[in-house]
Amino acid sequence: MTYTNRHIQGLFNQRASVTREVQAKASKITATIATKASFYYSLRNELIHERTTVPVSDREVEDYRGVIEMILKALFSIRFPKAN
């Protein structure tokens, strides 16, 4: 599929549309990973847009890193060093 500027603009008007499009193209992104990415996106919104003081644990930061690494590997075949 060729993405025109109009189509891309339409996708980016709603984040859910972008998420669906990426998941359709990247079968390696499992439902579990997509759910976690959505959770962390919501958490990010709370921290930035609502200016709340949501506690974030070290474990959540590490989990977030793992989710992002999995997505980037699935989409772009990026390799990451092993975490310590």
Q: Residue 67 domain-assigned?
A: yes
Q: Residue 84 domain-assigned?
A: no
**Which structural domain range is residue 29 located in?**
5-76
Q: Residue 82 domain-assigned?
A: no
Structural domains counted in the chain: 1
3-state secondary structure string, 2-19? CCCHHHHHHHHCCHHHHH
Q: Residue 41 domain-assigned?
A: yes
Q: Residue 26 domain-assigned?
A: yes
Q: How many CB atoms lie within 10 A of CB 71?
A: 19
Q: Residue 14 domain-assigned?
A: yes
Q: Residue 58 domain-assigned?
A: yes
Query: Which residues have CB under 8 Å from 19's CB, separation 6+?
Result: 34, 37, 38
Q: Residue 81 domain-assigned?
A: no
- d(CA 18, CA 61) in angstroms, rounded, equals 24
pLDDT tens digits, the chain, 84 residues: what are they? 678 898 888 888 888 888 888 888 788 888 899 899 989 988 888 888 877 677 889 999 999 999 999 999 888 889 998 866
What predicted TM-score, i.e. pTM, was given to this entire model?
0.71
